Amino acid sequence: MTPYVETVDITKEYDSIRALDLVSVAAKPRRVTSIVGVNGSGKTTLLKILAGLDTPSSGKVLIQGHEANPSELRAHCTMVFQRSVMFGTTVQSNVTYGLRINKVSSQDAALRVKSALALVNLEGFEKRHARKLSSGEQQRVAMARALALERDVLLVDEPTANLDPANAMIIERAIKESAGSRTVLLSTHNLAQARRLSQHVIHLYRGRVVEEGEPSRFFANPSDERTKLFINGELQF
Amino acid sequence: MDPIIEGIIRAIDLILTGDPEVLSIAALSLYVSVAGTLLACAWSIPVAVALALRSFHGRRIVKGLFNALIGVPTVALGLYLYLLLSRAGPLGYFQLLYTPYAIIIGQSVLVTPIVVSFATGALESVDSDLRTLARTLGASDIQTYQVVIREAFWGVVLAIVAAFNRAFAELGVAMMLGGNIRNLTRVLTTAISLETARGEIALSIALSFILLSIVMSLSVAINLARKSTR
């Protein structure tokens, strides 16, 4: 299967620090690709480049085999962040915002908002003020907001890092269901989550891909020493 | 009778009886200050947006300059503008000196640093992640700015109110550029100054009472509007 989105030898430098070092990864459609690694390994930087929010110092990003610039990436991808940020309006307005600026008809938008909110168990929350919700509910709104856009690629950065198990379960279910119709890249340091959700796992360490593979092989029989340490909870940055 | 109490009673009397001169002074004060503030907003808000949301060389220096100019003495500003607008000055051709337009121009220049600095602060205080979020949802640069401006709306409104209050309550510019001409350029502050010099303390207090009432009513109205939207 051809990858939907891939990076080719991407590096990213901030001043003299190299956050990403010749990273080449590929994510196939209708799959969840997890990027795992300790804090500071470059996961968020990689997702931001894929989302068109940052530019690589060198290397390129391809969408369906064609090189894409940040603006084209933003047209294909959307991202959910670890810390959910809400517009100071209602849940409905938050989820509708992206559809409105992308000129989706109000009829279509209403249907998409309804189904996205249903996917994260937020039916009936439409009129609530988004910033007055709990952090778990806000993260679910953020997920619905991204899903309603129906972009080809969903980038999810540590979506359940600060959530209780009930909210985390809803988010995980939404990721799983959404992968049925799009390419999902999930950044997480939660190995159990990566094992549960993904069809492909990539281990990033100090800005480099040190191992990747199917979860069954990746977790049971890692070949890289650093991956073994990471899986055993013994790897430090 | 205590001049303060006498002044308040006289103020109420002047307002209730609708004294035409006092009403025209108050109306002109409102007109020039509102016009001056709106004129200042026309260039100050785009400048504030650029300072808060764009990065360019010298941005910090420009911000510092506007912050420093907040405290410019109105008499000094009035003097420089007087030299510009006087018949022998570079803008003397337009014959604006001693007209309400001169006061409007002077007040717009006076309040520009207030609008720029306060609005920039309000825009900068908006969570920068909101801009990132808007971009991930497909927003263009202009749409991203709209998101920030919407978030900072009440902060920008407060900047405009602060600018209006400064324009409405200042004396130097109105005196030097308007000349305090009766029925033409006399505003509340110049009238208060004149009546005090003439020993009409009660009338001065009455006029200052009107001035304060307008400033405070505006602040209360803005606060109520702000609370009602939350």
pLDDT digits (tens, 9 = 90+) for A50-97: 999 999 999 999 999 999 999 999 999 999 999 999 999 999 999 999
pLDDT of residue B16: 84
Residues B161-198 have pLDDT tens digits of 999 999 999 999 999 999 999 999 999 999 999 999 99
Beta bridge partners of A6: A26, A62
- pLDDT tens-place string over residues B29-78: 999 999 999 999 999 999 999 999 999 999 999 999 999 999 999 999 99
Minimum distance, in Å, between the CA of residue B151 and any CA atom of chain A: 7
**Taking 70 as the threshold, does the pLDDT of residue B1 lie above it?**
no
Based on its alpha-carbon atoms, the radius of gyration of chain B, rounded to whole angstroms, reads 20
Encode pLDDT of B123-135 as tens digits.
999 999 999 999 9
Closest CA to A26 of A53, A57, A60: A60
Q: Is A144 on the interface with B (CB under 8 A)?
A: no
Whether the CB-CB separation of B115 and B41 falls below 8 Å is answered with yes
Query: Which of B127, B130, B133 would you mutate first to test chain A, the one with the most A CBs within 10 A?
Result: B133
| Amino acid, res. A90 | T
Nearest residue of B to residue A156 by CA position?
B136
Predicted confidence band of residue A100 (pLDDT cuts 50, 70, 90): very high
Q: How many residues does chain A have?
A: 237
Residue pair A11/A23 in contact by the 8 Å Cβ criterion: yes
Contact A153, A50 (CB under 8 A): yes
Q: Chain B within 8 Å of A72 (Cβ-Cβ)?
A: no
Residue predicted with more confidence, A212 or B10 = A212
- The pLDDT, as a whole number, for residue A90 is 96
Tell me the mean pLDDT in the region A172-192: 94
CB of A83 less than 8 A from some CB of B? yes
Phi, psi of A122 (to 5 degrees): -120, 30
For B150, the closest chain A residue by CA position comes to A88
Cα–Cα separations (whole angstroms), residue A30 to A47, A153, A179, A201, A203: 18, 9, 5, 15, 20
Mean pLDDT of chain B: 93
Q: How many A×B Cβ pairs under 8 Å?
A: 45
Q: What is the CATH number of domain A5-86+152-231?
A: 3.40.50.300
What pLDDT shows up at residue B9? 86
Q: By C-alpha distance, which of B84, B198, B140 is closest to A101? A: B140
> Is the CB of A87 less than 8 angstroms away from the CB of B138?
no
Q: Which residue has the higher pLDDT, B3 or A39?
A: A39
A121: pLDDT strictly greater than 90: yes
In angstroms, the CA B7 to CA B136 distance is 60
What is the mean predicted confidence (pLDDT) over B222-230?
Answer: 86
Binding-site residues on chain B for chain A (CB distance < 8 A) = 127, 129-130, 132-140, 143, 147, 150-151
List the single residue in B129, B133, B151 with the smallest CB-CB distance to A88: B151
A128 touches A91 (CB < 8 A): yes
Q: Which amino acid is it at A152?
A: D
Do the strands A183-188 and A200-205 form a parallel or antiparallel pair, or are they unpaired?
unpaired
Question: Which residues of chain B are within 8 Å of residue A149 when distances are taken between CB atoms?
Answer: 137-138
Return the CA Rg of chain A: 18
Banded pLDDT at A149 (limits 50, 70, 90) = very high
- Is the model's pLDDT at A236 over the cut of 80? no
CA distance A77 to chain B (A): 7
Contact flag B151-A52 (C-beta cutoff 8 Å): no
A98–B147: do the CB atoms touch at under 8 Å? no
A71, A74, A76, A77, best to mutate vs chain B, most B CBs in 10 Å? A74
- pLDDT, average across residues B6-29: 87
**Cross-chain Cβ contact A75/B138 below 8 Å:** yes
**Residue A52 touches partner B, C-beta closer than 8 Å:** yes
Residue B25 near residue B195 (C-beta atoms within 8 A): no
The whole-number average pLDDT for the span B151-168 is: 96
Angle at Cα B148 formed by Cα A115 and Cα B119, nearest 5°? Answer: 160
CATH of domain B3-225: 1.10.3720.10
> What is residue B160's predicted lDDT score, i.e. its pLDDT?
97
| B143/A74 Cβ within 8 A | no
Strands A17-23 and A58-63: unpaired
Asked if the Cβ–Cβ distance from A149 to B151 is below 8 Å, we say no
Mean pLDDT of chain A: 94
ipTM score for this prediction: 0.90
Contact at CB, B135 and A98, closer than 8 angstroms: no
Which residues of chain B does A79 touch, with a Cβ-Cβ cutoff of 8 Å?
136
- Asked if A78 and B133 come within 8 Å (Cβ–Cβ), the reply is no
Contact A74 B135 (CB under 8 A): yes
> Hey, where are the domains in chain B?
3-225
Q: How far is CA B4 from the centre of its chain?
A: 27
